[in-house]
């Protein structure tokens, strides 16, 4: 049966320092911290989720901040995470990055202009203007709604075997190849956000997982029933998905595609309002039921963090 994903659900990366992470993604980029929880596989580490006002699929970047080893961006990873802003907003973002001492460069790909920069840990980010995608209704720290990041424009994939990765994008995820230029092949999914995936055509040597690198990219499934079909579908293509895992805000399966990138497929529901009210998302440390009895100890081991408006920022 023909299947296709609407696009990126979320992207998850490693960083060193939790407060710096909050300051950059909330304070500089103006995203909303929509969930403050822990790594369910390592409860001494935060799991922080940033997105639009509701943390809709296609807008969510998530982090595990801990003082571990630094990674190296390379093959088998999402190389660049792309954010999309409304038409005409790029000049605002140039000024904003300058005011926070974040250096950037300008690049062009497939006729679009990209503002390219790094987060404090070296994660590669870029901002592009597009008409597609709903406006975020979250305004923070001097970023008005007409300039705010709408969510992901997409991502640039760095593969160790690009033709195999592209095969998975087409045959398994149902993305359409739309354009090709010298260094990149462009794929599109059906959704209006998180829907443009560029693959670096040159095979790249393996990156090293660690701070400043993306751990995985998750693709959208409509609901639990659709998700179960995705699992079967992935398995039928000779990939090896994990069992379905309850991630509290979505269900997940993971598999490594043959170019080395860790893919996840995640359900749109239930979303971030499943355990707190939409107007106070991200304010309290939320724990899944099975960790609640250890709350005091867990809280004691986590560094305090604060979402705050910034006067200045030291990258």
The residues binding Zn ion (CB under 5 A) are 12, 218, 264
| CA atoms of 78 and 14, how far apart (whole Å) | 12
Least distance to Zn ion from the beta carbon of 12, Å? 5
Least distance to Zn ion from the beta carbon of 248, Å? 12
Q: Which is nearer to Zn ion, 156 or 218 (CB)?
A: 218
Cis amide leading into 270 (omega within 30): yes
Q: Which is nearer to Zn ion, 27 or 282 (CB)?
A: 282
Least distance to Zn ion from the beta carbon of 131, Å? 28
**Structure tokens, 96:** 């904003």
Q: Which is nearer to Zn ion, 117 or 230 (CB)?
A: 230
Query: In this structure, what are the phi and psi dihedrals at residue 256, rounded to the nearest 5 degrees?
Result: -95, 120
Q: Which is nearer to Zn ion, 66 or 313 (CB)?
A: 66
Query: Rg of the chain's alpha carbons, rounded to an integer?
Result: 18
Least distance to Zn ion from the beta carbon of 138, Å? 21
| CA atoms of 312 and 315, how far apart (whole Å) | 10
Q: Which is nearer to Zn ion, 12 or 165 (CB)?
A: 12
| CA atoms of 131 and 89, how far apart (whole Å) | 11
| CA atoms of 221 and 137, how far apart (whole Å) | 24
Least distance to Zn ion from the beta carbon of 20, Å? 21
Rounded (to 5) percent helix, strand, coil in the chain: 20, 35, 45
């Amino acid at each position: 049966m023909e299947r296709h994903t609407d696009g990126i659900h979320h992207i998850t990366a490693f960083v060193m320092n939790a407060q710096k992470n909050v300051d950059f993604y909330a304070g500089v980029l103006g995203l909303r911290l929509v969930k403050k929880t822990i790594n369910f596989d390592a409860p001494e580490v935060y799991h922080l989720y940033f997105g639009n006002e509701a943390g809709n699929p296609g807008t969510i970047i998530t982090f595990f901040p801990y003082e571990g080893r630094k990674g190296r961006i390379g093959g088998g990873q999402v190389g660049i995470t792309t954010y999309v802003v409304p038409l005409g907003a790029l000049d605002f973002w140039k000024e904003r990055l300058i005011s926070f001492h974040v250096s950037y460069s300008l690049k062009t790909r497939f006729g679009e202009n990209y503002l390219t920069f790094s987060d404090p840990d070296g994660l590669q980010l870029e901002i592009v203007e597009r008409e597609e995608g709903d406006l975020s209704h979250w305004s923070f720290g001097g970023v008005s709604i007409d300039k705010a990041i709408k969510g992901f424009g997409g991502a640039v994939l760095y593969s160790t075997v690009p033709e195999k990765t592209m095969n998975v994008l087409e045959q398994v995820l149902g993305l359409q190849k739309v354009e090709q230029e010298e260094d990149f092949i462009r794929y599109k999914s059906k959704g209006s956000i998180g829907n443009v995936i560029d693959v670096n055509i040159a095979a790249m040597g393996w990156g090293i997982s660690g701070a400043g690198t993306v751990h995985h990219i998750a693709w959208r499934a409509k609901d639990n029933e659709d998700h179960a079909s995705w699992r079967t579908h992935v398995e039928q293509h000779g990939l090896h998905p994990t069992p379905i895992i309850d991630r509290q805000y979505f269900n997940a399966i993971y598999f490594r595609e043959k170019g080395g990138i860790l893919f996840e497929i995640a359900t749109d529901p239930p979303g971030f309002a499943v355990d707190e009210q939409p107007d106070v998302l991200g304010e309290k440390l939320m724990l899944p039921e099975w960790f609640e009895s250890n709350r005091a100890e867990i809280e004691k081991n986590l560094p305090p963090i604060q979402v705050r408006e910034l006067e200045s920022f030291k990258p």
